[in-house]
Structure 1
Amino acid sequence: AMDVEASSVGGGADAQPRSKAKLLDFYNDAVNDELFAPQNRPYMAQAYRAWKKDQKTERERAARSAGAAEELDKHWLPESVISYPFVLSAATKARILQVDAQQQMHEGVNHEIFAALMNGGRLNPYLVLRIRRENIVQDTLQQLVHCPENDLKKPLKVVFEGEDGIDEGGVQKEFMQVVTRELLDPAYAMFKEDDETNQLFFNPHTFEIGLEFELIGLLIGVAIYNSIILDFPFPMVIYKQLKGKKPTLEDLIEAQPQLGRNLKQMRDFQGNIEDTFGQVFQVSYEVWGNVETHDLVEGGGSIAVTNDNVHEYISKYVEWTLMGSVQKQYEAFEKGFMRVCGGAAIELFTAEELELLVCGNPTLDFEALEKVTHYDDGFEEDSPMIKHFWEVVHAFTEEEKRLLLKFATGSDRAPINGLSSLTFVISKNGTDVERLPTSHTCFNHLLLPDYGTKEILEEKLRTAINQAEGFGLR
């Protein structure tokens, strides 16, 4: 969670050092329980309407303030709890985002009905994509990029040409997994993977400039509105930029640790920086075998980095690396994301909460998952093999639990509101003790043979989850 500095009273020389509080420390459990509980939908609707009223009032006050024609009521406070987003959890904000999308679609429905009547067509409540597997990226690009913005917030339905899809959400999830895997493939060279963190950042030298990056932003937005977790290992700085924040050296250390640490070492150096490092206000980089340079300031190639200007040099270097060198790629990505998610509701989220919204919750509560798991094809909650399964899983290390979750669901993270909201099914898959467990990741469905003993189960399960890359997932 984001760190927030809590100031001490007074600001003089004798003031105590500031302490840091986590943003989640401000979450109000009672408020979130009220807003999130399914039986409290009227309360959520009331809070949402009051929030829209608050927004309108704030716009009017801003307009009057700009004119300075009258003195504003300094004692006015917003009425809705949603106007105080720091008390709301990421899961509650995700619910508000869904409500806001439904409201936006409702507001545009009259126009759609009129257009449908005029054209003799029908109003489609879904965003329907018809995709050829062998041309998945181009088909998706053609249909999403030209899609009206209101349609992008509709529930997603995907039809793979020539296939009979089961309309239970699995096809949509499979589509998202396949198309994002294609776009992140090194063959496209849209992103560069950091050797140390395995995180992906925009490739400044890619040939794919524009629509493909816009498509990534669109897919993330559509996935958010359909509660589909994506495996996008982006550094936090990308989410910070979506929130309008300028990148810092700390962001570079996270995104590109080796480069960031080198710059930090220069910044913290106590000796003569010019003599020791011999740097100028210029960046050198390789492009397809050729070395090119970029001046960080006008005439930067002839301006030495010294103890006096090192902070400016680092600031310019960070800004160019994380913004300037990838400006076209980022702007296309942001355009796609904002086409789906632009609006007041997304502004409720911090950068850290945005990452949770896209990639899921890293906190894994397998006790909660056990309580909501369903069983099929001969297994029941009190079946001996099921009891063995949970005993084995609860004894797993955190890393093994992540591997199991990825093996069974396609993601090593939980939904934003935890594993208790996951629809998870374990089915009996025969009695062949030589057979490994398999899974239908699109349906969060684990197929488990009845091995007879806990020891065989543990051995086979560990083998399966450690060989899961390219094996056993369907």
Structure 2
Amino acid sequence: MTLNRLSAGDSTNSHRSSFSTVAGTDNHKRKFEDYADYGVDFFQKMKKQEVDADHISELQQSWIPRRSGENSGHNRLLPSSDEECSSSSAAAASESTRLQLFVRMMSGGKTIVIHADKNDTVEKLHQRIEWKTKIPVIEQRIIYEGKQLQFEHLLSYYSIEQDASLHLVGRMQSTEHPVAWQTIDAIMLTVSRLYRGENLHGGISTINEKIVTFFTMIPVENEDSIAKYLRIFSSSSAPAALVMLYASSSSEPYKSCAKSPIKLFLNNCIALRRNQQTYCVPAVLDFCRLLRKVSPDEKLYSSSRSVLGTLLESIDISGRFHVFVEEIFPFFCELADIVVKELVQGSGPSSSDVEKFSSFWKPLMNAIQSQVPCSFPIALPLRNIALEAEIEQLHRLFTILLHTMDSCMSRVESWLGKKGTGNSETSMSESWSQYLPVLKIISSISKIYQGAKELVASMLNSRKASFCTLILKFAKRGDDHDWILEYMESTNFEVRRHLAMMLFPEVKEEFDEMHEMLIDRSNLLAESFEYISGASREALFGGLFMEFKNEEATGPGVLREWFYLVCREIFNPQNALFLRSPDDFRRFSPNPASKVDPLHPGFFEFTGRVIALALMHKVQVGVLFDRPFFLQLAGLQISLEDIKETDRIMYNSCKEILEMDPVSFDSSGGLGLTFVMETEELGKRDTIELTDKGNDIAVNSENRKEYVDLLIKQRFARSISKQVSQFSRGFTDMLSAGVPLKSFFNRLYLEDLDGMLRGGENQISIDDWKAHTEYNGFKETDRQIDWFWKILKKMTEEEKKSILFFWTSTRFIPLEGFRGLSSKLYLYRLYEANDRLPTSQTCFHRLCLPKYPTMAIMEQRLRVIAQDHVSSSFGNW
């Protein structure tokens, strides 16, 4: 169904048609209450925007019809609480109130005598009939002089005479929800009487009770039944009646009392299940439209608009249910104006306002896509198409928002330039907290218009520093960050790493939840495989506690060493799991020949887990993936240029095939090529057809592009598809629930992953090392400290890495240098013999040195450490 609402007149007819005619008498249709007709008239005029606050009183006066002889003055009394409500006026003392009534049952012709009082309600008469006939009240209808008596009226209302004859008929089942209609009738009647000035005890409470009753009876069996049921409220014009009652209240106590049914209805809508909330939208939309006309500046209207936004988020975008642009666009514009004003003020918009703004944008975007005949993005100006005015106004809003956010981000950059000069980061950052959600909406709007996306990209690129600062500070786990990936050129490595790392769950450091491993160094790979593969993903999220057999050391330093050592074993070509790239020995990809080992699927899944865990624990393990392997993990196709740094020989051959003159290529018989590829695995040569009957298909100038594409696909994708699949499964295990693998790798460039797994490519800077080292037992001016840094400067790069590894269990420096390590480094004085070798506490990044008497002794001892702990890089095995 859609939200294409019934007109006011249609809604009345719908209400009337839900009640049956009197049995056997087609000319006696149930007459809907007078108040409904006037309420619909009010609703129609409100929809057509013919009503404003100045003329509301006039409509209110005409809304309730008055019987002849009734005071025509507008003397309405609205109770502000149950205590303020009084009972109805008593009948004149001189008039007898006792009645004897003859009730004829149409079904069998039987007549029964019922005694009643003129001041009894019709409902009480129904109850007496039920007591006598056992016919449930809900199935009874009483007709007097062609009129059906309504439950809430007094018998005196109908001027029923002594010994009058009434007709009792059954209700035909022309509506699925008769009780719901009856409940809404009771609400409308009570509103009518309150407005007319009748003194009702507990009038508002009665309305509230009926609203609660209405919600408690919502069916659950199927969507159509829920929709029909909830449509009853708006079809009956109940929103118009309640809003008119609220608008007619002049004093605050009365106004507060009158607003309670509206608030109760809205709150009950929010409390429903998501599939039920959807069908409350028509009624809440009515409340918003009406309140917007009579009290746009009051809190009740703002609350109803917020509820509408929340309900719109529950709408199924599959097409079963949708709204129309014209219905919600005014509310979106109002919220856009609020957000812009708050941005301009500098204090920043509140999260509540931005959430409301966003809640209207998504359904509005879906409505525009379904209603505008043009394909997106569209060019302006538009001419003679549906929603022309709205589309152009939305573009103006986009422009205003974009320029406003440009100014805001300029202020952020100005603050960053003055950082450290006494600015309050807390107060400033609070005003920035909603900038990213606003940018997300701007980015989404830009997809509608030609050239708009480029304007957003240009603005963000010019404000790269502030954009990256906002992401690092305010992008949180669980938020939608995919839109940021559309502006990768406006981000830096730290931002992309931050976005990728948020796809992992946070590592829990509670000791009692850690996954404990006790591993023998001599059987490192096999035992590590058992501990990691045999653990549940939840156990690995609890953190890792690592200990080597027959060694006392434990803690983060030992864990970092284990990561380094186990990855060295996994990627050791002798284990046949991974191959070095032919042209870059630092890079690896799965070995196609690994399938000969029946355990290879498990080992690739294990490898995926280990690499993901290393990233989660921010350990650089020294492994680099080649580009084709990385692209497959990201779910991307491999092109010719992607293999350039992986297999230069194949790249050059394919390039030559594609660039040859077509005539020369064909005259040479396509170089004698067919759609096959020769392979060699473990000394065995084989020929693989690239397509069906590929051996019979000659390569020519017309199909050579297809040949090259299939060649690349076979060499770099098909041959290792199972290995990649198993690695992906293991890696995905470590991501947060529901996060697909490609979401992680799509947030990174290959160079970013290099930095996360291996660290920076630059040589170790002794000055940077020194700047991030503190001393305990030594002073920076001691000669031993001076000797230490001079000795390190003389060492080779590998010796420096060995000293660093001995010190921290880290062999590779993060991309951002020593500041990227988990803590500062510390040089401690060792109060023992001055000729001892240094010791370390890798968990705390501590290197302990004796107070060596000469520089020569210190150098000799440090070179022993470097020699004993040297570990060649992966590329030099």
Partner deviation per Cα, 1:139-192 (whole Å, 9 max, x = no partner): 43344335444443343222445543433x112112212322222233421012
Q: Which amino acid aligns with 2:825?
A: F
User: Structure 2: how far apart are the matches of 1:351 and 1:362?
Assistant: 14
Amino acid at match of 2:665: N
| Whole-angstrom CA distance in 1 between matches of 2:628 and 2:416 | 31
- The verdict on how the C-alpha distance between 1:332 and 1:425 changes in structure 2, with shifts beyond 3 A counting, is same
Equivalent of residue 825 in structure 2, options 424, 435, 445: 424
SS of equivalent to 1:298: coil
After superposition, residues 2-401 of structure 1 pair within 5 angstroms as 81=471, 82=475, 83=481, 84=484, 86=488, 87-95=490-498, 101=504, 126-133=513-520, 134-160=522-548, 163-167=551-555, 169-194=556-581, 196-198=583-585, 199-206=587-594, 207=597, 208-270=599-661, 272=665, 274=668, 277-341=671-735, 343=739, 346=744, 347-363=746-762, 364-375=764-775, 379-391=778-790, 393=792
What is the CA–CA distance in structure 2 between the aligned matches of 1:146 and 1:31, rounded to whole Å? 53
Q: Which residue of 2 aligns with 1:120?
A: none
**Which residue identity is paired with 1:316?**
L
Aligned equivalents of 1:32 and 1:96: distance in 2? 24
- Partners of 1:44 and 1:188 lie apart in 2 by 51
| Structure 2 unaligned regions, length at least 5 | 1-409, 461-466, 476-480, 873-877
Q: CA deviation at 1:408?
A: 5.2
Tell me if the contact between 1:90 and 1:357 (Cα under 8 Å) persists in the aligned partners.
Answer: no
User: Would the alpha carbon gap of residues 360 and 104 (structure 1) be closer, same or farther in structure 2, given more than 3 Å must change?
Assistant: closer
Deviation at 1:308, TM superposition (A): 3.4
User: Which amino acid counterpart does residue 321 of structure 1 have in structure 2?
Assistant: R
TM-score (norm 1): 0.68
Deviations, residues 231-280 of structure 1 (Å, cap 9, x unaligned) = 21322333333222222223322223333334334444455375584332
- Cα contact 2:807–2:845 (8 A) shared by 1: yes
Q: 1:353 Cα deviation (Å)? A: 1.9
Contact 1:32 1:89 in 2 (8 A): no
Query: Aligned pair in 2 of structure 1 residues 251, 456: CA closer, same or farther (>3 Å)?
Result: farther
Which residue of structure 2 aligns with residue 117 of structure 1?
none
Q: Report the number of matched residues.
A: 411
Q: Secondary structure at the match of 2:784?
A: helix
Moved more, 334-343 or 87-96: 87-96
1:321 match: secondary structure: helix
Aligned partners of 1:252 and 1:260 also within 8 Å: yes
Contact 1:101 1:153 in 2 (8 A): no
CA distance in 1, matches of 2:567, 2:810: 13
CA, structure 1 residues 448+289, in 2 after alignment: closer, same or farther (shift >3 Å)?
Answer: same
- The Cα of 1:325 is off from its aligned counterpart by 0.3
- The worse-fitting range, judged by mean Cα deviation, of 402-411 and 44-53 is 44-53
Question: How far off is 1:99 after superposition?
Answer: 5.8
Are the structure 2 counterparts of residues 410 and 339 from structure 1 closer, same or farther at C-alpha, using a change threshold of 3 Å?
A: same
RMSD: 4.8
Letter in 2 for 1:141: F
SS in 2 for 1:341: coil
SS of match in other structure, 2:650: helix
Question: Matches of 1:466 and 1:31 in 2, distance apart?
Answer: 50
Q: 1:153 to 1:228 in 2, by over 3 A?
A: same
Q: Give 2:708's aligned amino acid.
A: I
Distance 1:46 1:258 in 2: 56
Q: How many angstroms apart in 1 are the aligned matches of 2:659 and 2:860?
A: 50
1:90 shift after superposition: 2.9
SS of 1:158 mapped into structure 2: strand
- Indicate the SS of the match to 2:814: coil
Structure-2-length-normalised TM-score? 0.40
Mapped partners of 1:452, 1:184: distance in 2: 43
Contact 1:239 1:355 in 2 (8 A): no
Query: Which range is displaced more, 322-331 or 361-370?
Result: 361-370
> Quick one: structure 1 residues 427 and 280, their matched pair in 2 at CA, closer, same or farther if it must change by over 3 Å?
farther
Per-residue deviation, 1:401: 5.7
Q: Percent identity?
A: 22
Could you say if the C-alpha distance between residues 90 and 129 of structure 1 is closer, same or farther in structure 2, counting changes exceeding 3 Å?
Answer: farther
Cα distance change on mapping 1:410 and 1:194 into 2, 3 Å: farther
Contact 2:583 2:645 in 1 (8 A): no
Q: CA deviation at 1:286?
A: 1.8
* Worse overlay, 97-106 or 180-189: 97-106
Change (3 A) 1:47 1:418: farther
Would the aligned equivalents of 2:515 and 2:544 in 1 still touch at CA under 8 Å? yes
Q: What amino acid is aligned across from residue 565 of structure 2 in structure 1?
A: V
State the one-letter code of the partner of 2:686. Answer: E
In 1: Cα distance, 2:603 partner to 2:674 partner: 35
Which residue of structure 2 aligns with residue 415 of structure 1? Answer: 814
The offset of 1:323, in angstroms, is: 1.0
Give how far 1:324 is off: 0.6
Residues 444-459 of structure 1 mapped to structure 2, 5 A cutoff: none
Task: Please give the alpha-carbon distance, in whole angstroms, between the structure 2 residues aligned to 1:352 and 1:92.
Answer: 13
Q: Distance in 2 between matches of 1:446 and 1:264?
A: 53
1:69 matched residue in structure 2 = none
| 1:205 Cα deviation after fit | 0.8
Distance 2:766 2:543 in 1: 29
1:361 aligned partner, one-letter code: G
Q: Which residue of 2 aligns with 1:5?
A: none
Deviation per residue, 1:79-135 (Å, 9 max, x gap): 9744435344333454556666557989xxxxxxxxxxxxxxxx9764413233255
Relative contact order, higher structure (CA 8 A, sep 6+):
1
The 8 Å contact of residues 827 and 849 in structure 2, kept in 1 or not, is answered as yes
Secondary structure of the residue aligned to 1:217 is helix
- State whether residues 403 and 412 of structure 1, in contact with CA within 8 Å, keep that contact through their aligned partners in structure 2: yes
Tell me how far apart the structure 1 counterparts of residues 591 and 643 of structure 2 sit (CA, whole Å): 15
Structure with bigger gyration radius: 2
Residues 130 and 159, structure 1, Cα contact 8 Å, conserved in 2: yes
Cα displacement (A) at 1:341: 3.0
Q: Which residue of 1 aligns with 2:313?
A: none
Residue 127 to residue 438, structure 1, CA distance change in 2 (3 Å): closer
Code of the aligned partner of 1:234: F
Q: Where does residue 114 of structure 1 map in the other structure?
A: none
Q: Describe the SS at the equivalent of 1:205.
A: helix
Question: Is the CA contact 2:806–2:842 (under 8 Å) kept in the aligned structure 1?
Answer: yes
Amino acid at match of 2:515: V
